[in-house]
Amino acid sequence: MYLFTSEVVSPGHPDKCADIIADSVVDATLALDRNARIASEVFFAGNHIIIGGEIKSKKTLNFEQYECLVKNTLEKIGYFDNPNFTREQCLHPQDIEVHVLLNQQSGDINQGVDQNDGEIGAGDQGIMFGFASNETSNFMPAAITYARVLCDKVYKYAKAHPDELGVDIKTQVTVDYGSKSNFENCKPQKIHTIVVSAPCVETMSIENVRELIGEIIDNAGLPKKLYDKEKTIIYINPTGRYVNHSSLHDSGVTGRKLIVDSFGGYSPIGGGAQSSKDYTKVDRSGLYAARYIAKNIVAAGLAKKCIVQLSYAIGVAKPISVSVDTMGTQVVDIDDDMLSNFVMKNFALTPKWIISKFGLDKPSAETFLYSKVAANGQVGIKDYPWEKLDSVELFKNLVKKA
């Protein structure tokens, strides 16, 4: 055996609620002022939600609008006046107290971001990593892909059946690669273990919960070549009781689920959160660009998997460094030095280029909303603009030249 595990949490997890609320603030503020600068954080504990940080905008929300935004967001997530859970067992939005502690962004930062020549400097220093693998059709690693599939299915069921399940859900999938060589060459052999934790109403027995979620797992569409219900180890609510949930029993903070949001531990992460920040913050835009480059490299057949690292200095538009690491899986005659130099020459990777390429300053229901990105994961969802494969031919041309 050679095992690797990734976990996923649903939008109803308190940390995810914090991310979604923070990005709902981003969406709402950018709708008022496309050039707004936002770095807000959310802390969610009990019935209290604190929105803090910095915003620079020509128009801002008032307190009543923030309060309405928070409660509407939580109701969309699945927290409402649910009579099947008591106020002690689960959050009820009408009990929430919202606290808004937002300041103006420092002019010292802004003078480096919005430059006189129209260029946009990086909103902060930092490093970002993008990753791609040919293990799945969307070029994401196997364990987090299947953990997401299961989480999405259980969450969807919970929202449709609030008389049975709550929405504070976690899933975990362990993939057996059989050997380290198979792991390095992106060849998963089977799903070894599945863990699902989903809150249920007091009246449901643990036997009924396990039977219900077991059926959801069986019908989730996991690859038949990897999932065998007779051989896969399955843990459903392993403590035997999970009724009390939500922020009443587990606080939430923006940016605490970075591995869940990205590549499930298969790749390094830069350390900076995406949610809560506007598009000039390279913690967000740099991740999208790095993922885009890595995905197009793998989709072009240049490697089985790929890590792209970008780094930036605050107020400087061009990245300080660009590196590509195909982890020994590159095709013949295409090495990482060639790929790194090729990316630097062919992709500007300035904040302005990234913003324009992916339309990051124009979130909408027709394209993407940052709040939905926070709910579903920052990468790996095929409809996101940064998941497009429109540079595959460019990378294939590199093979022809080699």
Model pLDDT for residues 212-261, shown as the tens digit of each residue: 999 999 999 999 999 999 999 999 999 999 999 999 999 999 999 999 99
- The answer to whether residue 119 scores a pLDDT higher than 90 is no
DSSP for 225-244 reads TT--TTTSEEEESTTS----
CA distances from 115 to 3, 120, 317 (A): 49, 6, 9
Q: Give the torsion through C-alpha atoms of 182, 188, 190, 194, to 10 deg.
A: 120
Burial annotation 33-43 (CB, 10 A radius, 16+ → b, else e): eeebbbbbbbb
pLDDT score at 331:
82
Instruction: Note the maximum CA span of the chain.
Output: 67
Whether the per-residue pLDDT at 338 is higher than 90: the answer is yes
pLDDT tens profile 362-381: 999 999 999 999 999 999 99
Alpha-carbon distance of 148 to 131, in angstroms, equals 17
Tokens of 70: 């928070």
Specify the DSSP element, H or E, that contains 349: none
For the segment 264-318, what is each residue's pLDDT rounded down to a tens digit? 999 999 989 999 999 999 999 999 999 999 999 999 999 999 999 999 999 899 9
Q: Please write the tens of the pLDDT for every residue from 178-197.
A: 999 999 999 999 999 999 99
The topology (CATH level 3) of 126-133+281-400 is GMP Synthetase; Chain A, domain 3 (3.30.300)
Question: Is the predicted pLDDT of residue 200 greater than 90, yes or no?
Answer: yes
109 confidence band (pLDDT: 50, 70, 90): low
Neighbouring C-alpha atoms within 13 Å toward the C-beta of 257: 30
Whether this model's pTM surpasses 0.85: yes
Q: What is the pLDDT of residue 123?
A: 80
**What is the 8-class DSSP label of residue 224?**
T
Q: What is the mean pLDDT of residues 71-76?
A: 97
* Domain ranges within the chain, ordered by starting residue: 3-9+141-244, 126-133+281-400
Cα–Cα dist 55/115, whole Å: 18
What pLDDT score does 107 carry?
67
More confident residue, 77 or 123: 77
Helix axes 392-401, 336-346, angle to 10 degrees: 130
Q: Which CATH number fits domain 3-9+141-244: 3.40.720.10, 3.10.129.10, 3.20.20.70, 3.30.300.10?
A: 3.30.300.10
Q: Distance between CA atoms of 26 and 309, rounded to whole angstroms?
A: 26
What's residue 21's pLDDT? Answer: 98
